[in-house]
Structure 1
């Protein structure tokens, strides 16, 4: 990113392309924005197992034992994915007797909606 400050856009290969100084500043500012937190969230959402867990939790809150039965994933694998989803704030849990029930949070619903929209775009996109 430091190279962006020192380079003049007009000394590059696109000398004939006019980009006003104000726009140059705005582009540089946009490139300096911290996208790491969003990138981490998207990475967590990009895993098919975690997406399936979130889809299941969008129906109703569930305990791990039910998720193990209906998904055929190992308990340890599900626990790992649930931990990541909870750390990112996509799911939450509450204790009911001896059961720990997981549910989708508002952030999880937003993330799932984003993925659902992207899924529709992917289905509409023609191969090639």
Structure 2
């Protein structure tokens, strides 16, 4: 009498090789598939863009300045001692990531935080670093 062993999907096979238990590997692979099916690639890309935007120290400085209210580009560049072109470039990255909003006032552009969640995000970063 021969015992037939049903083939496992590649994920379960990999887990079975690592754990040595085919049944547990099949169950774990099923759970992992259910978890990964919940991940939306477009949302993931948008969320990664937010983290990339705040990962630059200069952009994070801009966000910290804007915690206390709206500022124009000239005020931000003066406060952080950076050229206008660099400041505008970084503001456009923050705007594209949805972290700041722009308001035109004549020839001036004024910026503010998009909403309170940006402040919460900065507070969480402070908490995570232990500060």
TM value normalised by structure 2: 0.75
2:91 aligned residue: 82
Matches of 2:94 and 2:35, distance apart in 1: 28
Q: CA RMSD in A?
A: 2.3
Structure 2, unaligned stretches of length 5 or more?
1-8
Tell me whether 1:49 sits opposite 2:58 in the alignment.
Answer: yes
Cα offset, 1:111, TM superposition: 3.3
Matches of 1:36 and 1:102, distance apart in 2: 24
2:24 aligned residue: 18
SS of 2:60's equivalent in the other structure is helix
Q: Larger radius of gyration, structure 1 or 2?
A: 2
> How many pairs were matched up?
117
Matches of 1:97 and 1:77, distance apart in 2: 21
Structure 1, unaligned stretches of length 5 or more?
none
Distance verdict in 2 for CA 1:38–1:18, change over 3 Å: same
Alignment equivalent of 1:27, drawn from 23, 32, 56: 32
